[in-house]
Amino acid sequence: MTREVFIAYVEREQEALRGFLLALCCGKKDDADDLAQDALVKAYLASAGYQDKGKFRSWLFKIAHNTFLNHKASCRTMNSIDEARTLIGGTPADASFAHQDLYLALRTLPPKERSAITLFYLSGYSIKEIAAITDTSEDAVKKQLSRGRDKLKERLKL
Amino acid sequence: MKKDKALEDLFLAQKPQFDDSDAFMASLTRRLDAVEYLKQYQEATIRRYKWAMVATFVIGIISGAVGITFLLAAPANVPLFTFHMHSVFLQWLSENSRMIVAIVLSLLMSFGLISIIANLQDIVRMKKRDSYSVATEYSL
């Protein structure tokens, strides 16, 4: 894949990717955009091996998902401090954002459940596709979705 | 698995709109430029290293050729080296010293030749890839 083809694809998909990462980062736009940029650079470096089968978005989401998990793993300590701060103060991650409740509820989910829920409800992927993106079995995705949905509904009082 | 309607509506309602797509793409392009620069720098370093390897192996082959010439020029009935010890193995070594040295030199020269070819192939492949990426860059 040439650079201009890659950029053309990315221009088409960047909003979906940023939306996905914004949900994973619970509304922290700067973090989400940084992760999106990192994921896109990784995708660019791996684009020589990409075989175009019309699944560029899934491929991109897979890289973004792995980048997010790596990021979460690398700043686990920071996250727990962050979470504690949220619990004590109840301060929203981004006060200007309109849907803080959902983001705060998403924040209580483990990263894998959060990914599965976001891919299912926000990006509209099927369980099979989510399993491919997150490199897990369909049963595991179903469990993550079920658990995540219950936690979200309880938290959001739906 | 069926979607929970309330959750789905909530997610759809929060679908964000980005009004800074141009800035995001400009930032990405800058990052990709930096990545390209680093890749080219890294490839240039590898290419220099490979040229150094080729030069070393060429020197090795020339040295091997000089060694074989010396071997052929030396008198045939005098062994290249002798051991002043009584051992069947060492005696066998000194009797066949010319043959052993010739075989070792030939093996080293063959190894050198194969390495030169492999390194040159790598260099040509890297140059082709570079010229291809430059061509596509300028076709924008």
Mutation target among A5, A20, A21, A37 for the B interface, most CBs of B within 10 A: A37
Higher pLDDT, A139 or A26: A139
Assign a CATH topology to domain A3-156. Butyryl-CoA Dehydrogenase, subunit A; domain 3 (1.20.140)
Q: Please determine, for the modelled complex, whether the ipTM score is greater than 0.85.
A: no
Query: What residues make up the domain containing B133?
Result: 108-140
Instruction: From chain B, pick out residues whose CB is under 8 angstroms from the CB of A47.
Output: none
Q: Domain extents for chain A?
A: 3-156
Is B113 within a domain?
Answer: yes
Is B120 within a domain?
Answer: yes
Contact of B40 with chain A, judged by CB distance below 8 Å, is answered with no
Contact of B140 with chain A, judged by CB distance below 8 Å, is answered with yes
CB A128 within 8 A of CB A138: yes
pLDDT digits (tens, 9 = 90+) for A53-75: 778 899 999 999 999 999 988 87
Contact of B137 with chain A, judged by CB distance below 8 Å, is answered with yes
Is B17 within a domain?
Answer: no
Model pTM score: 0.70
Q: How far is B12 from chain A (nearest CA, A)?
A: 6
DSSP string, B19-72: S-HHHHHHHHHHHHHHHHHHHHHHHHHHHHHHHHHHHHHHHHHHHHHHHHHHHH
What integer is the mean pLDDT of B74-90? 80
The predicted pLDDT at position B88 comes to 86
Is B112 within a domain?
Answer: yes
In the three-class reduction of DSSP (H, G, I as helix; E, B as strand; rest coil), residue B84 is classed as coil
Is B1 within a domain?
Answer: no
Contact A99 B24 (CB under 8 A): no
Is B129 within a domain?
Answer: yes
Contact B16 A41 (CB under 8 A): no
C-alpha–C-alpha distance, residues B85 and A20, integer Å: 80
